[in-house]
Structure 1
Amino acid sequence: MIESLKHLPPSTSASEALARQFTDLAPALTSRQAAIEAARCLYCYDAPCMHACPTGIDVASFIRNIHDGNLNGAAHNILKQNIFGGACSRVCPTEILCEDACVRNHMEEHQPVKIGLLQRHAIDHATFNQHPFERAPATGKTIAVVGAGPAGLSCAHRLAMLGNDVIVFEANAKAGGLNEYGIAKYKLPGDVAQEEVAFLLEIGGIEVRTGYALGVNLHLQDLHVRYDAVFLGIGLTASRQLGLTGEHAPGLMSAIDYIATLRQAQDLACLPVPRRAIVIGAGNTAIDMAVQIKHMGAEDVTLVYRRGLDAMSATHHEIAIAKANFVRIRTWAAPLEVLLTDTGRVMGMRFEETALKGTRLAGTGATIDIAADAVFKAIGQSMEAVSLSDDLAGAIARQGDKIAVDDHFRTSVAGIYAGGDCVAPGQDLTVQAVQHGKLAAHAIHQDIQFKTGAAWPT
């Protein structure tokens, strides 16, 4: 039970009906559909789709494999660049990456090749007799990876391929990170996340130890001494605060906490569901929260953002999903006050209408009240303060509230690397976290073999 919402009733829908609300967002291609779609690809020589992919998947090559009926070859081409190719085929914003770059996406045709669905088709139907990648000869080196999310596990897999041993430390009870706990259930349904983790670990040489949280029962100083290198893929798990009185009242909670609980629930019918809900935010997490609570049975869901629609960080595709699910989007309104009942429970939010004064966002003085039984914050995440609380961690240079790294994902402390959402560069995308982990692995391998990896100048 989610403590903040325990006073709310569970969904009125039966378990089976709710389960049907959380199947794949887009239906899978049939073999015939995949063949027809693959035939649309022009197999461009310069392949702009490949250049648009953060992990550098050779899109034209794997689509040609599908066209030729070689699904194992297609899957191998994908996985050698992105070991999380299955999850990314479902959650990647292809509409702003590879499919946006597709040469068929022009005014006359305006229909790019369905690259994401073709990638999913290849991964879902590949039949490997054993793990498709082999380990290189053992190096005798052992690397600690903190965080078993896409960045950490991608790094671990590539390090293992290169012949290193890896110990992965994870705070949660399961490996998978964002894919297991933070992605909308209708985007990554069932046990897809755990199946992908199990597949990745088949490479060998990787040990996952759960229940270890950096700064709590795991300390960077100790890891730095015990292992040949350390990679931090700790993500952003702390929800930012609104800074309003009543923020911790029953009925107000972070969107990521509800999403995590929903993803782990054995029976969705047991989860509390508000009749009216407000989601504060403008990113994909806000959209995920709003759509999922609608699927759970909320009658009235309003997503509120302090700027205009064109400033939302959620993609147009995500916004369209919200609208298709009858989520009301209210822009130009900033949180002003949590409205509480006599017993101290959330009964709504008061917002101040906003406007641009030149280039600066300012309140207008006008207010609007929106009634709600629950309010979900999706205003961004930051690193848990305790994660980098020991003396060595305190020496790591920061850029804003994230870890600063160089082009090879080295931090300012020699032997410590970082990647994924916790580092300064990037778009906070799963696919980019995978690429960070992969590139960091190559840098780590190179550095520990040749005794380089000195701290970069600060």
Structure 2
Amino acid sequence: MPDSMTPGIVAGRLGRDEIAENFADLHRPLDPHEAAVAADRCYFCYDAPCVTACPTEIDIPLFIRQIATGQPEAAGQTIMDQNILGGMCARVCPTEDLCEGACVREAAEGKPVEIGRLQRHATDSLMARQGHPFRRAEATGKRVAVVGAGPAGLACAHRLAMRGHDVVLHDAKDKPGGLNEFGIAAYKSTDDFAAREVEWLCGIGGIELRPNSALGTNLDLGDLRRDYDAVFLGVGLGGVNDLDAEGADRDGVMDAVGFIAALRQADDLTTLPVGRNVVVIGGGMTAVDVAVQSKLLGAENVTIAYRRDKSRMGASEFEQNLATSKGVRIIFNAQPVAVHGNGAAAEIELEYTADDGTGLRGTGEKLRLPADQVFKAIGQVLTYRGLELDGRKIRVTGAGRTSVDGVWAGGDCTGGDDLTVVAVAEGRDAAEDIHATLMDAAVHPTGAVIGEDARA
């Protein structure tokens, strides 16, 4: 975090009341009447495009019908059958690009059914019920190591425990949750929801948490293969890409992921230092999250500089609009050239870019912006190298099988979209494949839907 070498980066730019208002829940939960009204807009399509658009294939028309008929807990069960982290996904999924983007009402009226908020209403209702809604199958005597307690690892651990296996869930950090705990904007997941969801999920039993256990440090894959019947890796992407610009090592230049993690773990946001003039390099969700939160902490000027055009930006249109609504400026087709300053960052130099069909190139036209704090949000990289890779991620086939026998992987450390809901689907499906392998049983290739016998 910033120190005395960066005089422009200070804490307490805003008071506690303003900070509390700024970081309140982005989407207020629906009350029962509002949920019933929202559910009534659903056409309950037979071949619902929203289901196809959901990576975990939740039966969306069914759970919305259950809400409409006054059964929110049953709706929550329908969701959790497919997505055990349905509560967090309801808060952080880019629904405008997934289920809501595919909604028939979106195509017809430009206003989809509020699937995300309805999902939150249902999952919150189920989680508020006493007792865990799933129970474990008869013990198999098998023991599985899950490395990484993020969305993929948690989904895998829960499904394995439900199938009767004993799971040891390792994580490099001192608390579980992965990006749900450390890597998303605080206004998307309030009231310590990530930690509460993990505690709820582990309520099924059979899952032992072991924090401060990092693969390649105090965990060895060979030892895990020897000591357990199977291994699942959901290790995420632990490294951050370097900024290729002169002066990138100046004080005040920092990675966005680390800043967001510090913000998420801060007990008092008025003590978190932030710059007066903040520039974020990148165009994904992390870039938007760090930019918006810098503004909410009291930064006067916040700019996102993205090297390509608007259509190539990784952050959804909703996220882009959220950023600009909070006063964040987005400059497209601009890449960093240098960070200037006497020891600490004071100014950033950008060069405009163009793509003539042969690749991105600098145009030679440049601009400078005041910048006492520069965030790198230009992607993360895999730090573990013990398996065959596909590009920069772990190569997998089928439901997460790696090049090493008895080892599966899923989530951000493997290919595919880096979304919470995708990670959940990959962890769930890998668990079913692990179970089938250990028990020598057939399983549907997309992951079997939990039967009634698995419910409490």
TM-score per shorter chain, which class? over 0.9
Aligned residue in 2 for 1:413: 404
Aligned residue in 1 for 2:436: 446
Shift of 1:51: 1.2
CA contact (8 A) 1:278 1:304 kept: yes
Change (3 A) 1:51 1:451: closer
Shift of 1:243: 2.7
Amino acid at match of 1:358: G
Change (3 A) 1:311 1:89: same
Aligned residue in 2 for 1:14: 15
The CA deviation string for residues 354-373 of structure 1, in whole angstroms up to 9 with x for no partner, is 11122411111121111111
Change (3 A) 1:349 1:439: same
The CA deviation string for residues 133-157 of structure 1, in whole angstroms up to 9 with x for no partner, is 1111111100000000000010000
Amino acid at match of 2:120: R
Aligned partner of 2:419 among 419, 429, 437: 429
**Does structure 1 residue 402 correspond to structure 2 residue 393?**
yes
Shift of 1:250: 1.0
Aligned residue in 1 for 2:239: 238
CA contact (8 A) 2:6 2:344 kept: no
What pairs with 1:138-157 in structure 2 (closer than 5 Å)?
A: 138-157=139-158
| 1:410 match: secondary structure | coil
Question: Which whole-Å CA distance do the structure 2 matches of 1:62 and 1:299 have between them?
Answer: 44
What pairs with 1:23-422 in structure 2 (closer than 5 Å)?
A: 23-107=24-108, 109-126=109-126, 127-341=128-342, 344-384=343-383, 387-388=384-385, 393=386, 396-422=387-413
Change (3 A) 1:348 1:203: same
The size of the alignment, in residue pairs, is: 440
Question: Which whole-Å CA distance do the structure 1 matches of 2:4 and 2:48 have between them?
Answer: 49
Shift of 1:124: 1.8
Question: Which whole-Å CA distance do the structure 1 matches of 2:67 and 2:335 have between them?
Answer: 49
Which sections of structure 1, spanning at least 5 residues, go unmatched?
453-458
CA contact (8 A) 1:89 1:119 kept: yes
Between 16-25 and 34-43, the greater mean CA deviation after superposition: 16-25
CA contact (8 A) 2:280 2:291 kept: yes
Shift of 1:125: 2.5
Which sections of structure 2, spanning at least 5 residues, go unmatched?
443-456
Amino acid at match of 2:119: Q
Q: TM-score, normalised by structure 2?
A: 0.94
CA contact (8 A) 1:2 1:261 kept: no
CA contact (8 A) 1:49 1:59 kept: yes
Between 275-284 and 38-47, the greater mean CA deviation after superposition: 38-47
Question: Which whole-Å CA distance do the structure 1 matches of 2:93 and 2:4 have between them?
Answer: 31
CA contact (8 A) 1:4 1:250 kept: no
Question: Which whole-Å CA distance do the structure 2 matches of 1:259 and 1:4 have between them?
Answer: 20
| 2:424 match: secondary structure | helix
CA contact (8 A) 1:5 1:374 kept: no
The CA deviation string for residues 323-357 of structure 1, in whole angstroms up to 9 with x for no partner, is 1011111111111111122xx10012111111112
CA contact (8 A) 2:5 2:344 kept: no
Question: Which whole-Å CA distance do the structure 1 matches of 2:16 and 2:219 have between them?
Answer: 39
Amino acid at match of 1:184: A
Between 243-252 and 154-163, the greater mean CA deviation after superposition: 243-252
The CA deviation string for residues 58-84 of structure 1, in whole angstroms up to 9 with x for no partner, is 101111110111111011111111111
Amino acid at match of 1:399: D
Shift of 1:249: 1.8
CA contact (8 A) 1:4 1:252 kept: no
Amino acid at match of 2:372: D
Shift of 1:451: 9.6
Shift of 1:290: 0.5
Question: Which whole-Å CA distance do the structure 2 matches of 1:374 and 1:339 have between them?
Answer: 11
The CA deviation string for residues 181-212 of structure 1, in whole angstroms up to 9 with x for no partner, is 00100111121000100000001000010011
Question: Which whole-Å CA distance do the structure 1 matches of 2:175 and 2:5 have between them?
Answer: 24
| 2:204 match: secondary structure | coil
Between 124-133 and 282-291, the greater mean CA deviation after superposition: 124-133
Aligned residue in 2 for 1:456: none
Between 375-384 and 236-245, the greater mean CA deviation after superposition: 236-245
Amino acid at match of 1:112: P
Question: Which whole-Å CA distance do the structure 2 matches of 1:61 and 1:258 have between them?
Answer: 40
Question: Which whole-Å CA distance do the structure 1 matches of 2:307 and 2:41 have between them?
Answer: 42
The CA deviation string for residues 216-251 of structure 1, in whole angstroms up to 9 with x for no partner, is 111111111111111000001211101334322210
Question: Which whole-Å CA distance do the structure 2 matches of 1:74 and 1:448 have between them?
Answer: 32
| 1:346 match: secondary structure | coil
Shift of 1:50: 1.0
Q: TM-score, normalised by structure 1?
A: 0.94
Amino acid at match of 1:380: G
Question: Which whole-Å CA distance do the structure 1 matches of 2:379 and 2:296 have between them?
Answer: 23
Taking only the aligned residue pairs, the percentage that are identical comes to 50
Aligned residue in 1 for 2:449: none
| 2:348 match: secondary structure | strand
CA contact (8 A) 1:348 1:375 kept: no
Question: Which whole-Å CA distance do the structure 2 matches of 1:166 and 1:444 have between them?
Answer: 12
Question: Which whole-Å CA distance do the structure 1 matches of 2:277 and 2:354 have between them?
Answer: 26
Question: Which whole-Å CA distance do the structure 1 matches of 2:82 and 2:95 have between them?
Answer: 16
Aligned residue in 1 for 2:453: none
CA contact (8 A) 2:6 2:372 kept: no
| 2:249 match: secondary structure | coil
Change (3 A) 1:322 1:233: same
Amino acid at match of 1:285: T
Amino acid at match of 1:257: G
Question: Which whole-Å CA distance do the structure 2 matches of 1:95 and 1:188 have between them?
Answer: 18
